[in-house]
Amino acid sequence: MRLKIATLGETVLRQRTRPLTSAEILSAGIKQLIQHMRETMNDALGVGLAAPQIGLPLQLAVIEDKPEYLAGISLQQLAERERQPVPFQVIINPVLKVESAPNVEFFEGCLSLPGYTAIVPRSRSVRIECLDHNGTTRVIEATGWYARILQHEIDHLRGMLYLDRMLSRSFCSVDNHTRYWKDKAIAEVRAELGL
């Protein structure tokens, strides 16, 4: 079942979320919600979806960066982004520890802001303590694009969007990104935009 994705301007995207209890995590309702979130994320060709994006202020997100999503990206771009497939996973009540300064910049998009993108500085490596879909404690140590996805989704759980972190002069439509910036290095984009 595909759920409606909240878009920019809907108040739920700016609210802080509440943690899930152990009983909630193990409930049939949350199990079904996770499945619906996965289907919604996959239908939208996203790599992550947080509960606020489907109207629920809960500390819950799903992530999956499928191998087929990497198919149209050059080997050079995959290497510089440190991007590899990420299997489906659920993060609940995450605590984020940033392991490096937010000094890695790439264009980033969001299912709640369709059709737009911007350069967003993120930390290269992070450590997450969270619960999984079974309520089991997990520690995730991630680098590169995986770390970026986690930071993006955890921002949603804090009522933040990439707009709050972006280099505003880089904000553009996806069409113009494809036309002007897609195949350029971030340093070149920064130089051309005077960033």
Measure the CA–CA gap between 54 and 96, rounded to whole angstroms: 22
Radius of gyration of the CA atoms of the chain, in A: 16
The catalytic position among 64, 105, 153, 188 is 153
Angle at 158 between CA 7 and CA 27, to 5 degrees: 85
Per-residue DSSP letter, 59: S
State residue 45 phi and psi, 5-degree precision: 60, 35
Per-residue DSSP letter, 2: P
Those residues with Cβ within 8 angstroms of residue 49's Cβ, 6 or more apart along the chain or in another chain: 5, 37, 38, 40, 41, 61, 62, 111, 153
Measure the CA–CA gap between 26 and 95, rounded to whole angstroms: 20
The answer to whether 153 is a known catalytic residue is: yes
Catalytic residues: 153
